[in-house]
Amino acid sequence: MKVDRRKFLSFVVGGAAGTALSPLPWKLVDDSSIWSQNWPWTPVPEDGEVSYEPTTCSLCPGGCGIIVRKIKDRVVKIEGIKGHPVNDGGICILGLAGLQLLYGPTRVKTPLKREGARGSGKWRKISWADAISEVAGQLNSLRSSDKADTIGCIGGSDRGVTPNLLKRLTSACGSNNFFRTPSMQDSYETALQLMHGKKAMAGFDFENADFILSFGSGILDGWGSPVRMFKANSNWKTNKTPVIQIEPRLSNTAAKADQWLPVNPGTEADLAFSLINIIIEKGLYDSNFVNNYSLGFADLKQLVKDKYKPAKIAQATGLKSSDIEKLALKFADARRPLAICGSGQGHTPGSLKTFVAVHALNALTGRVNSKGGVWAVEEPDYIKWPEVQKDKPAVKGLAQARIDGAKSKYPLSQYLLNQLPDAVNSESKASLQALLIADANPFYTMPDNKAAQEAFNKIPFIVSFSSYMDETATNADLILPNHIYLERFEDIPTATGFAGPFIGLSRPIVKPQFNTQALGDSLISIVRTMGGTVAASFPWADYKTCLVQTLGSKWPALSKKGYWVDSRFMVPGWTEGFKTASQKFNFSNKDLMMVYNSRPIIPEGSDSFPLLLLPYDSIRLANGYIGDPPFVIKTVADTVLKGKKSFVEINPITAKKYKLKQGSTAILSTPKGQAQVKVHLFEGLMPGLIAMPRGLGHTAYDNYLAGKGINFNELIGTQADPVSGQDAAWGIKAKIARA
Amino acid sequence: MSKELSHNKVRRYGMVIDLDKCTGCGACMVACMAENNVPFKEDESNKRDSITWMKVYKLTNGKPFPNTEICYLPRPCQHCEGHDGHSPCVSVCPATATDYNSETGIVSQIYTRCFGCRYCMAACPYHARYFNWWDPVWPDGMEKYLSPNVSPRMRGVVEKCSFCFHRYQLAKDKAYYEGRSEVREDEYQTACTQACPAGAITFGDLNNPLHAVHQMVKPDLKHAGRPKSPNAFRLLERLGTNPKVYYLSDREWVRRAGDNYMADTKNHLEPKEH
């Protein structure tokens, strides 16, 4: 048979068709997938001896006790410690996912020096010695050219040994420019300073309160020490303690509260003053406290009488005046009522007026420094280091005021990181020449994000001590990676809102996984290399020595038990609890009157923006220094994040007005920027508002988090509180249109 | 093994979830993922292929502002007993890859037997079962945290909540080693129960009158474990799946959302999944 071209092609095509029609290819695909199913690419975890080691979680300032399950030297699970004073066995969603941070792809594995342009992601691995001498060299050259005051440091906290080493390094160099990441702590501290006359933190005796009035605090959304708040809430449910939540959005806290009072946003202080007015008028205040342990009551009384009449406040807040009155009566009638504030997770300081108003409300009913109330808790004072030694450049530098206006333009505030961008951007030559950043991610977390980034980009030398490749590390010139919390010793003094002095201890429960170094050791090495008075200000051989010496008599208990509670601590009380000039509680004085009379914070934007954009916090979206690990982002609902797009919430009534439907794509604009978002219709949001979650829109970290959604901080600006100077912006005007 | 032949007392491990205490924080979901080597992908926002043995649903009462209410509902595998262990999934499995354990009342899933037909997924009225469409991939180094107590699953098999059965085995081994025949209530607790910061989840033996779960819901054994407590309910009670996860809520609309076949359909509300 002659095989011509035609026959050959028919044969090939026929053969192919025949094979395709036969079960053969399907059988082969099936067989090969079954066969390859058992290939060893599914890991078989190695077995071994099991051990449990206790430590303290420091992913947030909550201070939970955690116990870590290990198989040989591998850590396989993190759980809460039963009986721990803060979290008693409970643990939050982020704490549970800590191992994904330890072993995750976001770790910075070795010191890195930038190669390409800032943020381009081109790095060169360098040795620790080179990294340390580079930082020391830069700081020394600034000092020797009389620019010591242009050295700045940003820390996540100013409590505990490591943050204080960073603060000490700043002053030893000759600069006052140490910044702490802002939070509601700033406003609570200022309120306590003004009213109690002492430097203290607010501690809340939630467990003994029998009526909770929350001015927008996300009790179940990550406020304070989250696990403690969850536990307290469950106890309130069991004991039938009423919880009243005041905020315009049905948050998880509002959903679980006994009563949700949606007030117009930004009117919380007005409502508090109005409650004060009613309680005074009806004579329901604690007259023993007011008459014998306080000063300035008459001025406050006059102020609320003149300015906070129920009818006026009803209009401002959107509540009925009868409801406001009922609320005031319920609050005053309760045996141990407690009012709290600090909106959402309390990551922004907010308006000082709200804090003093809420604190005055507590005081009026005798709820300060008493059982079930709010206490001024002094932090454990174990850090008693001698003054830093100063040479000429240091003396000269320390004579300069802080660049952010804290302690000068704003005498009541200690740190004003929110003022830093303006201070840097307003001058042609950067007023900061070097910036060291630890336990903070300001490139992501700072509102008016564009201005903040612009300011950072003007600073010629930025060092990040981050353990993770976060936005700040990505944009730094040098990264000196810290051990993560499971690899290092760290004292964690007083969990947020804890009622009494408390220190938790983080300890290394696993060998350092990478070529990292504890921040304390990096700082001590830097000063050692710098030499002179800077080195002399740090008399410790290494960080561990410094820690043990500083904690002194508390160290044995800490290293044995993992935490230290001041057993002698008692409720501060009214007789000795106030450190004002008169030893009494201040209802008003010159500073307080300035706060009471300060102008309200009106959201930024012209009338061309008819709506209001508000942030909301979710416990499933970490929005501080740490970003969501893979497990946590996995739990985020598909009505918050779908693929790379994030949703904004909007009431169906408002949505209809703008022709938006569930899932519509829309352009959201504010005076600060615009973003493409998807729309989620939510009945639980007050009409006229748009709510957006914090914690999305990361550009750094890993592929599990980066590039998903919009960073709220890019759409909001900052607004300085007229008295404290802290960021008090609670929203921004906005418009939305179908894309 | 039939009940008559068993030397052991019949236990019915079950769970009671107090929906008034549940805050929807999601700690149970992550505790479960961390305990059971549950894999994750870069994008988990397609919830139909996102493996969550424990999944927290968000329900709303559907009323407009400001009368809107929200309730969260955590949903593990319900470990249905059906009639005599004929749970919906067990009945349809052609490979005996899922089985009802008459000693503990736990519905098992044996990955090496499963060949991925997904009949059980179709049969499960609670969407508690998940299929591995892909082989799990842990980023380089992250496989270090995998627990040896639970096998990581391969592509092509179904997986679901096991009530942390490995914890039962460990507790039982410990009890035997210490010369006890009984596992104490606190010795066997699931990872989600242990983690829940609100203390909303209670776990134990429903057959044991001393256990908290029994006292909370008072299961009526004559009527397939139906709860006698007025605020307790089970999901889709009417289907007769006889689940061992009970829910508590003071709010009627929540109870109704959990079982929209309840007798009074006058105020019928559609539960919305969020």
A634, closest residue in chain B (CA to CA): B44
- Is the residue at B263 inside a domain? no
- As a whole number, the mean pLDDT across chain A is 95
User: How far is the alpha carbon of B198 from chain A, nearest alpha carbon, in Å?
Assistant: 5
Cβ proximity of A505 and A380 under 8 Å: no
Q: With residue A114 as reference, give the H or E element that holds it.
A: strand A112-114
pLDDT score of A152: 97
B30, B34, B139 member nearest A105 (Cβ): B139
Residues 6+ apart with CB under 8 A from A140: A530
- Is the residue at B172 inside a domain? yes
B40, B56, B60 member nearest A630 (Cβ): B40
Q: Is the pLDDT of residue A40 over 80?
A: no
B146 touches chain A (CB under 8 A): yes
Distances (CA, A) of B13 to B76, B81, B87, B103: 13, 11, 15, 9
pLDDT score of B1: 42
Share of chain A above pLDDT 70, in %: 100
Please tell me the total count of domains within chain B. 1
A102 HSE (CA, 13 A, CB side) = 28
A37, A71, A653 member nearest B156 (Cβ): A37
Q: CA Rg, chain A, in Å?
A: 28
Question: Across residues A157-184, what is the average pLDDT?
Answer: 96
- Is the residue at B271 inside a domain? no
pTM of the model: 0.94
Residue B59 pLDDT class (50, 70, 90 cuts)? very high
Q: Is the pLDDT of residue A282 over 50?
A: yes
Q: CA Rg, chain B, in Å?
A: 19
Task: Find the length of chain A.
Answer: 739
Residue A430 pLDDT class (50, 70, 90 cuts)? low
Distances (CA, A) of A490 to A58, A163, B115: 9, 10, 50
- Tokens for A300, please give them: 């406050």
Query: What gap in Å lies between CA B47 and CA A352, rounded to an integer?
Result: 42
- Is the residue at B274 inside a domain? no
- Is the residue at B122 inside a domain? yes
Inter-chain contact B197–A226, Cβ cutoff 8 Å? yes
A221, closest residue in chain B (CA to CA): B25
Share of chain A above pLDDT 90, in %: 92
- Is the residue at B165 inside a domain? yes
pLDDT in tens, A75-105: 999 999 999 999 999 999 999 999 999 999 9
Q: Is the pLDDT of residue A710 over 60?
A: yes
- Tokens for A213, please give them: 């009035």
Cβ proximity of B215 and B209 under 8 Å: yes
Chain A residue numbers touching B64 (CB-CB < 8 A): 652-653, 683
Q: Give the closest residue to A127 by CA, choosing from A114, A138, A115, A111.
A: A111
Specify the CATH number for the domain of residue B127: 3.30.70.20
pLDDT in tens, A387-427: 999 999 999 999 999 999 999 999 999 999 999 999 999 98
Q: What is the largest CA-CA distance in chain B?
A: 60
Q: Is the pLDDT of residue B260 over 70?
A: no
pLDDT in tens, A662-703: 999 999 999 999 999 999 999 999 999 999 999 999 999 999
- Is the residue at B268 inside a domain? no
pLDDT in tens, A520-539: 999 999 999 999 999 999 99
- Tokens for A188, please give them: 């609570």
Question: Across residues A104-113, what is the average pLDDT?
Answer: 96
- Is the residue at B270 inside a domain? no
Q: Is the pLDDT of residue B224 over 90?
A: no
pLDDT score of B273: 42
- Tokens for B211, please give them: 């256990």
Inter-chain contact A74–B144, Cβ cutoff 8 Å? yes
**What is the residue whose two structure tokens read 């009639």?**
B83
- A218: number of Cβ within 10 Å: 27
DSSP letter at A720 equals: B
Q: Give the closest residue to A229 by CA, choosing from A413, A60, A398.
A: A60
B25, B63, B200 member nearest A93 (Cβ): B25
Rounded to the nearest 10°, the torsion over CA B52, B56, B60, B66 is -130
Map residue A78 onto helix, strand or coil. Answer: strand
B70 touches chain A (CB under 8 A): yes
Query: What gap in Å lies between CA B33 and CA B41, rounded to an integer?
Result: 13
User: How far is the alpha carbon of A711 from chain B, nearest alpha carbon, in Å?
Assistant: 18
Inter-chain contact A92–B43, Cβ cutoff 8 Å? no
Mutate to test the interface with A, among B28, B144, B166 (most CBs of A within 10 A): B144
Q: With residue A55 as reference, give the H or E element that holds it.
A: strand A50-56
Residues 6+ apart with CB under 8 A from B5: none
pLDDT score of A209: 97
Q: Is the pLDDT of residue A196 over 80?
A: yes
Q: Which range of residues forms the domain containing residue B212?
A: 3-257
Inter-chain contact B44–A34, Cβ cutoff 8 Å? no
Chain A residue numbers touching B153 (CB-CB < 8 A): 42
In this structure, which amino acid lies at residue A213? L
Cβ proximity of B26 and B56 under 8 Å: yes
B68 touches chain A (CB under 8 A): yes
Which range among A367-376, A385-394, A495-504 shows the weakest confidence by mean pLDDT?
A495-504
B200, closest residue in chain A (CA to CA): A234
